[in-house]
Each structure stands twice: as C-alpha cells, then as structure tokens.
C-alpha cells in the first residue's frame, strides 16, 4: 500500500514537473490452467482520458515487439492465445493524446507460471473403504479443453485424508492413477479428503480440491465364528450331498434298466419239463403213421378145373394179402389180363 502511494506521488511529481504521462503500475500476469490475463493498475494521477497499448515478443526464438492490443480503455488483456510452450516479454504503456508513458514490463512463461487448479473429486463409501476418483484439471483455453496432464511430462495425484475434527496430520498417498481405494479405516467414521496434482519436473504443486467428507460403513471383515460356521455348513452339505447323489444315480440307473431292458424269469417247472427227454413220439411226429389194414384170408373153391385165367386170379388174390407198401414190387406182367398175356 505504501509503495502504491509512493508511486502515485512520484507520478504526480513527474506530471507536474515534466507534463509527461506516468506509466501503468503493478503489471502482472494472472494465469490459471493456461487461462492467462495481463493486468495492471492505472497511473496514480493523470489528466484527461487515458488509453493503453500492449505489446509482446518471444524470447526463444528472439523476436521484436509487436502490438497485440491498442487504444484500450480497460486495464487488462487476455493473452491465452500465446503458445503454452513459449517464453515471452509483455509490456504496457499509458497514452493520452500525443503523449505516452514509459513501458511497464513483465516476463511470462505459461508452463512455469500458470497455476494448476484443483481436480474434480468424487468419494464413495463401500464395505469399510472409501473409493476416491479424480480427474483433471483441464486447460481453460478457447483452442482446446485438454487435461493439463497431457502438457506436462511428469504428473501424479496426491490424496490427503484425515478424520473429521481431528488434530492429527493428514495421511498422504501419491498415485499415478485416476482413482484410489482408502482401506484400513475405522468403521462408521467420517473422513475428509482432498486431492491435488503434483508436477515434480516443474516443481509445481496444484491447488487442493474442495474438502469432501464421507462416513465409512462396516469394515467388511467377517468374524471368525461366521467363517467357521460357513465352513462347517459347507462340509456338512458335501457329506450329505454325496450319498444322496449316489443313491439318486443308482435309482435312476435301475429305473432306466427296468424300463428299457426288462428282465424275464422263465418258470422253474417249465425248465424242468423241457430238460427231460420226451416220453412219446406223438408230440413231435410231423407225419401221422400209416394205418394198417388187416384182412382175413379168403379161399374160393371152384368145381371147374383151373384154367390159366383162374391161376392168374388166384395169383392176384395172393398179392392182395401183402402189405400195401409192397404193391410197387408187382410187375406189369402179373396184373395184365390173360388175353394180353397170351
């Protein structure tokens, strides 16, 4: 405050003595997530309307100054369009009609000077642990909205957590991932969490996120008696299920065999009957036996002397006394009439 007052008095003195315009005061760069704005304060004492001109030049590669804004009536100018990988010299001066002040100069290197904002954080309580997810921050530029992690070579997140209303120092966890599980916490206890980005290559530490508080639930550790009960129950189930499965399979096998392959037991009395030889041939004779014809012998006595024809008849009667199956042995000469024989 005292410095500003002295600068205003010095500007007033110069203005009174030489009549020149004093230069802008307190020139600075406000840059967060590569959203960069050049700011300055107006001269302490001036007459008439004052305007401003802003110029910039690159240091590497070295260039000449070029005007980026002229005839400004405000005391700020957005310089986010400058490359984030460059190094620059910015300057501003005050102007009034044909007069102007000296240049107020500031150096700016976006990668080193920009402030890394806080990441977005989400906390979820589950089974006695806290699941913390975090993303960003992202570049706040018109050209792109990429995550700042893509601009820097090295990057990790730092998670800080502590019990609520506790005076102890917060526990710190560094991770290169976008999530972290906080375990070994006390059940039913409220913990407060903050996350920030760290860039060791540039020796930069980002801003801390808003503090989020979440209560843990049951720690998820199963008591020993529950474990023993579950193991005994499992063993008992196995002991019971094995015989049940065996008898079920056996019954199914027997049922299937009875349905698809039925067994027939031949009666014992039929076995004994068939094992004995047959007592008569009438059960197995394919052709009935020939009937035997019995004839009484008949003798015919004639008073007439026997002629040759009588002898033939007598001979024929003898042949009828033979069995029927010997008729085939009679020759044709014996059955011919007497006339044909002569």
Q: Which of 118, 223, 124 is nearest to 182 (CA)?
A: 124
CATH of the domain at 15: 2.60.40.10
Residues 6+ apart with CB under 8 A from 10: 22
| Beta-sheet pairing, 204-205 with 190-199 | antiparallel
215: left (phi over 0), alpha (psi -120 to 50) or beta: beta
- 198 and 139 in one domain? yes
- pTM (predicted TM-score): 0.57
In a domain, 286, yes or no: no
Instruction: Return d(Cα 220, Cα 125) in angstroms, integer.
Output: 12
pLDDT of residue 66: 92
The pLDDT tens digits of the residues spanning 49-108 come to 899 999 999 998 788 999 999 999 999 999 999 999 999 999 999 998 888 999 999 999
- Name the percent of the chain in helix, strand, coil, to the closest 5: 30, 30, 40
Domain that holds residue 300: 293-320+331-342
Same domain, 6 and 109: yes
| Same-domain check for residues 172 and 98 | no
Number of H helices, E strands in the chain: 7, 16
Domains held by the chain: number: 4
State which of 113, 145, 165 marks the end of a domain. Answer: 113
Per-residue pLDDT tens digits of the chain, which is 342 residues long: 455 545 555 444 444 444 578 999 999 999 999 999 999 999 876 566 899 999 999 998 788 999 999 999 999 999 999 999 999 999 999 998 888 999 999 999 999 999 999 999 999 999 889 999 999 899 988 777 788 999 998 899 999 999 998 888 999 999 999 999 999 899 999 999 999 999 999 999 999 999 999 999 986 555 555 667 777 877 777 778 777 777 787 777 777 766 666 665 656 666 677 776 665 544 444 445 555 555 566 665 655 554 555 555 555 555 544 444 444 444 444 444 544 444
Shared domain check, 142 and 191 = yes
Q: Given this model, what pLDDT does residue 304 score?
A: 53
- Looking at the fold, whether 233 and 201 belong to one and the same domain comes out as no
In a domain? residue 280:
no
């Amino acid at each position: 405050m005292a410095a500003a007052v002295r600068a205003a008095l010095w500007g007033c003195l110069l203005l009174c003595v030489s009549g020149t315009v004093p230069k802008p005061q307190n020139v600075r760069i406000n840059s967060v997530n590569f959203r960069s704005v050049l700011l300055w304060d107006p001269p302490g004492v001036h007459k008439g309307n004052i305007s401003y001109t802003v110029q910039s030049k690159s240091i590497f590669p070295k260039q000449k100054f070029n005007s980026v804004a002229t005839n400004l009536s405000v005391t700020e100018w957005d310089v986010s369009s400058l490359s984030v990988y460059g190094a620059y010299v910015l300057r501003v001066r005050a102007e009034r009609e044909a007069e102007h002040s000296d240049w107020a100069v500031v150096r700016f290197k976006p990668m080193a000077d920009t402030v890394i904002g806080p990441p977005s954080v989400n906390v979820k309580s589950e089974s006695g642990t806290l699941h913390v997810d975090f993303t960003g921050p992202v570049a706040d530029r018109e050209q792109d909205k990429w995550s700042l992690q893509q601009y820097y070579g090295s990057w990790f997140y730092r998670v800080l957590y502590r019990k609520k209303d506790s005076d102890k120092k917060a526990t710190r966890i560094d991770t290169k991932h976008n999530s972290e599980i906080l375990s070994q916490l006390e059940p039913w206890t409220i913990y407060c969490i903050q996350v920030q980005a760290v860039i060791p290559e540039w020796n930069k530490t980002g801003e801390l996120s808003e503090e989020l508080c979440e209560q843990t639930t049951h720690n998820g550790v199963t008591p020993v008696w529950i474990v023993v009960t579950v193991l005994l129950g499992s063993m008992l189930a196995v002991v019971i299920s094995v015989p049940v499965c065996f008898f079920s399979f056996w019954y199914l096998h027997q049922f299937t065999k009875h349905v698809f392959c039925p067994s027939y037991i031949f009666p014992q009395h039929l076995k004994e009957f068939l094992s004995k030889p047959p007592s008569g041939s009438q059960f197995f004779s394919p052709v009935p036996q020939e009937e035997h014809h019995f004839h009484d012998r008949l003798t015919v006595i004639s008073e007439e002397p026997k002629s040759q024809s009588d002898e033939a008849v007598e001979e024929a009667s003898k042949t009828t006394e033979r069995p029927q199956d010997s008729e085939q042995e009679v020759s044709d000469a014996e059955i011919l009439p007497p006339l044909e024989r002569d």
